[in-house]
């Protein structure tokens, strides 16, 4: 019984000691002194201690709602997360900021930084491209809202890169059928890529493999179906050379065209 009491007193003593050892930062974070908290948040931010400044600005975001500091606190909450490289949280901060403060002096910069967060979250072309589509929408909205922005060149560069990424994904998704030797599906999939986006950056390759798939599908068909399917290849062949008469790929298709004519 005596041992249990001693342990109890030791436990209480340890808790009191830990409470007394709280850092100034922890006291600020848990306290209600908004002035001290606001000042400290900027001090931590300016010293590059972004996780601490983010926590303080988040704490202030409730207290400052409806005050003249509201947009400043919300913006620097996002900036702290951005500088801390928590781009997912920062994107949410900036998105909410733009919605809540459409006329703030920080709104344009928050809109641009949200684009940067979305861009950093985009994935490799072979994976899901939902973040890429979100980034493209955000960039187009930003360019409409701020046609004279100093960030226009950066936005255009990012937009081009993201569109190229989508083009590559669409092409590779269709081309995989060709690699699998499912030539009927390959032809359909490749043609659908250009149906969805005729300006795909891989247009030459798409038209080439469409023709190649047509020929191989015809060549593998039963005799009664071959003539009809070689005619599809001939159409695809002329589509290709009509657009790319100087292509180095033309030689291979011409070889197949001569063989197809013999079988039609």
Residue with more model confidence, 150 or 130:
150
**How many other C-beta atoms are found inside a 10 Å radius of the C-beta of residue 9?**
10
pLDDT band for position 126 (cuts 50, 70, 90): confident
Helix (H, G, I), strand (E, B) or coil at 152: helix
CA pair distance 232, 237, nearest whole angstrom: 9
pLDDT tens for 247-260 read: 999 999 999 999 99
pLDDT tens for 183-213 read: 999 999 999 999 999 999 999 999 999 999 9
pLDDT tens for 48-71 read: 999 999 999 999 999 999 999 999
Buried b or exposed e, range 75-110, using 16+ CB within 10 angstroms: bbbbbbbbbbebbebbbebbbbbbeebeebebbbbb
CA pair distance 106, 110, nearest whole angstrom: 6
pLDDT tens for 146-195 read: 999 999 999 999 999 999 999 999 999 999 999 999 999 999 999 999 99
What does the pLDDT average to over 218-230? Answer: 93
DSSP string, 78-105: HHHHHHTT-HHHHHHHHHHHHHH-TTST
């Amino acid at each position: 019984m005596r041992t249990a009491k001693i342990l109890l007193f030791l436990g209480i003593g340890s808790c009191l000691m830990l409470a007394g050892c709280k850092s100034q930062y922890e006291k600020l974070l848990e306290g209600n002194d908004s002035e001290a908290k606001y000042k400290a948040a900027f001090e931590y931010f300016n010293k590059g201690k972004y996780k601490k400044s983010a926590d303080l600005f988040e704490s202030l975001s409730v207290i400052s709602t409806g005050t003249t500091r509201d947009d400043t606190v919300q913006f620097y909450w996002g900036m702290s997360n951005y500088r801390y490289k928590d781009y997912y949280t920062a994107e949410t901060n900036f998105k909410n900021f733009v919605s809540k403060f459409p006329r703030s002096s920080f709104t344009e910069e928050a809109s641009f930084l949200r684009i940067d967060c979305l861009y950093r979250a985009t994935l490799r072309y072979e994976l899901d491209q939902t973040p890429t589509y979100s980034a493209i929408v955000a960039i187009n909205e930003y360019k409409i809202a701020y046609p004279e922005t100093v960030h226009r060149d950066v936005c255009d560069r990012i937009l081009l890169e993201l569109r190229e990424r989508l083009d590559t994904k669409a092409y590779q998704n269709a081309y995989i059928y060709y690699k699998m030797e499912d030539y009927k599906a390959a032809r359909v999939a490749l043609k659908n890529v250009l149906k969805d986006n005729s300006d795909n950056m891989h247009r030459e390759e798409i038209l080439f493999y469409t023709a190649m798939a047509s020929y191989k599908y015809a060549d593998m068909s039963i005799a009664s179906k071959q003539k009809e399917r070689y005619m599809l290849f001939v159409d695809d062949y002329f589509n290709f050379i009509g657009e790319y008469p100087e292509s180095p790929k033309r030689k291979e298709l011409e070889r197949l065209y001569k063989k197809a004519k013999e079988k039609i």
